Amino acid sequence: MGRARVLARLGGLALLDELTGDLQDRLDAVLRDIGFGRLVGVEVVDWEPGRARTRLVPGPDQTNVHAFVHGGALFAVADTAFEVACNSWGRVCVGLDVTVHYAEPAQLREALVAEALEVTRSRRVASYRFEVRGDDELVRCTALAVAFRTDRWHLGEDEWPPEWRARH
């Protein structure tokens, strides 16, 4: 799904144009420095409010008994995309529920890209759909997730313009 279509679906606002300069750069630093993702080798490829893409090239320590990529590694790349997407509005969010469907085995050293996309968002709860694809573009797993949106803000509430906080 292209950026224009995502932005239209999220209300037609040029969201990244509103989230500019120092504030966007500081939030970007937060969203790219997720400890667990870093630990297992997940890279944040890109993000915008309500959407994120992450990437993992699994190594030998991330395989299962069948020599395929372990489901936990697939989930790690997907969950990191979910974490970035739901926190990308600046509001501190935490996962409540995730349902994963493993569709195809992934191979060792195959680049896996996860994309999370917001489906719904209210003041307190947001839902996301995401999938992980391999080098061949085949879906390796899909997931649906729900996040709880707290009253806290990354970087501190006062850093965010009041009109942004009211809408997001």
Residue 86 token pair: 């739901």
Domains of the chain and any CATH numbers: 3-167 (3.10.129.10)
Checking if the pLDDT of 76 tops 70, the result is: yes
Q: What pLDDT is stored for residue 15 in this prediction?
A: 56
Q: What pLDDT is stored for residue 10 in this prediction?
A: 46
pLDDT band at 80 (very low <50, low <70, confident <90, very high): very high
Checking if the pLDDT of 9 tops 60, the result is: no
Torsion angles phi and psi, residue 7, rounded to 5 = -65, -40
pLDDT band at 66 (very low <50, low <70, confident <90, very high): very high
Checking if the pLDDT of 86 tops 80, the result is: yes
Q: What pLDDT is stored for residue 13 in this prediction?
A: 43
CA distance 99 to 129: 10
Q: What pLDDT is stored for residue 21 in this prediction?
A: 74
Does this model's pTM top 0.85? My answer is: yes
What tens digit of pLDDT does each residue of 122-167 get?
Answer: 999 999 999 999 999 999 999 999 999 999 999 999 999 999 999 9
What tens digit of pLDDT does each residue of 10-52 get?
Answer: 443 445 556 667 899 999 999 999 999 999 999 999 999 999 9
Q: What pLDDT is stored for residue 22 in this prediction?
A: 87
116-151 burial: b if 16+ Cβ within 10 Å, else e: bbbeebeeeebbbebbbbbeeeeebbbbebbbebee
Q: What pLDDT is stored for residue 2 in this prediction?
A: 45
